[in-house]
């Protein structure tokens, strides 16, 4: 059993729904591999415009499955490195997906579950959700999720929450930048749909290029090299088929082809 459901609607909106509610949508080695493969498939599918990551049950994701963690305690360091690399590849794949991604957070998220959220472009949570980076309470560290989580909440917040493992509420998650919006539980679907409609207005090629631009520019020193590269990027996309179509549609007061 894959541990998730995947469905794509006529608009090209793919929804991956974590479906292990009995264990709070915790993930193990098998789920990590299958989820990574599904994300890679969607990344290569030209018909897919947007990927929504959702979950069933009371929790969004509790992170690593306790049974998997118990097994890994008996693994060698090399075997644990293999597992860690697989999880790191899942996070990298989600973070670098060339399609806009939305985390629809209907419940609590802990440990690696926060990594999934931080890797998504847009995160919308119910106001009753709680969050925690719990690894230190098990004598562990949030290693493979740290690049994404620190980018989301900042170093100062990470120094608190990585070390205490304390829970924080949705309002704090919003203040820290982990989520972009909090809503009442019965408004989550509406808020996610609103984000979907906003994303469908954008050109898919330009959205992929914008994501790549952010990765290149974030944290980089402003040098002549960087300035020159950004100039090349806008020049390149202006003469692309999508760039030409977008400008023509605007001037002709019509919808661009990707919004037909």
- Write out the two tokens for 99: 């399609």
Kindly give, in sequence order, each residue whose CB lies less than 8 Å from that of residue 27, ignoring residues fewer than 6 positions away: 3, 18, 20, 35, 61, 63, 64, 65, 68, 112
Q: Is the pLDDT of residue 227 over 60?
A: yes
- The three-state secondary structure class of 237 is helix
- The three-state secondary structure class of 123 is strand
Give the per-residue pLDDT at 163. 98
Q: What is the pLDDT of residues 190-202, one digit of tens each?
A: 999 999 999 999 9
Overall average pLDDT of the 159-164 stretch: 98
Beta bridge partners of 27: 64
- Integer Cα distance of 71 and 121 in angstroms: 33
- Integer Cα distance of 130 and 169 in angstroms: 5
Go through the domains of the chain in sequence order and give each one's CATH number: 4-200 (3.90.226.10), 204-259 (1.10.12.10)
- Integer Cα distance of 194 and 180 in angstroms: 13
Give the per-residue pLDDT at 3. 92
Q: What is the pLDDT of residues 81-140, one digit of tens each?
A: 888 899 999 999 999 999 999 999 999 999 999 999 999 999 999 999 999 999 999 999
Give the per-residue pLDDT at 83. 87
- Looking at per-residue pLDDT, the higher value among 81 and 188 belongs to 188
- Looking at per-residue pLDDT, the higher value among 96 and 69 belongs to 96
Give the per-residue pLDDT at 79. 82
- Integer Cα distance of 259 and 202 in angstroms: 8
Q: What is the pLDDT of residues 47-68, one digit of tens each?
A: 999 999 999 999 999 998 888 8
> What are the percentages of helix, strand and coil residues in the chain, rounded to 5?
55, 15, 30
Residue given tokens 């709070």 in the structure block: 24
- Write out the two tokens for 135: 């690894």
Q: Is the pLDDT of residue 73 over 80?
A: no
Residue 17 burial (C-beta neighbours within 10 Å; 0-12, 13-18, 19+): middle
Give the per-residue pLDDT at 33. 95
pTM: 0.95
| pLDDT band, residue 75 (cuts 50/70/90) | confident
Average pLDDT of every residue of the chain: 95
Q: Is the pLDDT of residue 1 over 60?
A: no
């Amino acid at each position: 059993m894959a541990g998730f459901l995947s469905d794509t609607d006529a608009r090209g909106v793919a929804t991956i729904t974590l479906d292990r509610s009995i264990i709070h949508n915790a993930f193990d080695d098998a789920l990590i591999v299958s989820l990574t493969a599904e994300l890679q498939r969607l990344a290569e599918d030209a018909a897919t415009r947007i990927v929504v990551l959702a979950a069933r049950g009371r929790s969004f994701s509790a992170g690593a499955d306790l049974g998997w963690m118990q097994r890994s305690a008996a693994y060698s360091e090399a075997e644990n490195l293999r597992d860690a690399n697989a999880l790191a590849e899942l996070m990298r794949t989600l973070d670098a997906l060339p399609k806009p991604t939305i985390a629809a957070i209907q419940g609590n998220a802990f440990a690696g579950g926060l990594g999934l959220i931080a890797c998504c472009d847009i995160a919308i949570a119910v106001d009753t959700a709680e969050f925690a980076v719990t690894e230190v309470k098990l004598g562990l560290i949030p290693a493979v999720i740290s690049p994404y989580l620190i980018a989301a909440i900042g170093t100062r917040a990470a120094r608190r929450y990585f070390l205490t493992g304390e829970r924080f509420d949705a309002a704090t998650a919003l203040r820290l930048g982990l989520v972009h919006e909090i809503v009442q539980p019965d408004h989550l679907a509406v808020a996610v749909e609103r984000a979907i409609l906003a994303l469908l207005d954008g050109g898919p090629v330009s959205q992929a290029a914008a994501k790549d631009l952010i990765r290149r520019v974030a944290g980089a020193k402003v040098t002549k090299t960087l300035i020159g590269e950004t100039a090349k990027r806008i020049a390149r996309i202006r003469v692309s088929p999508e760039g030409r179509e977008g400008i023509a549609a605007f001037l002709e007061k019509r919808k661009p082809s990707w919004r037909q």
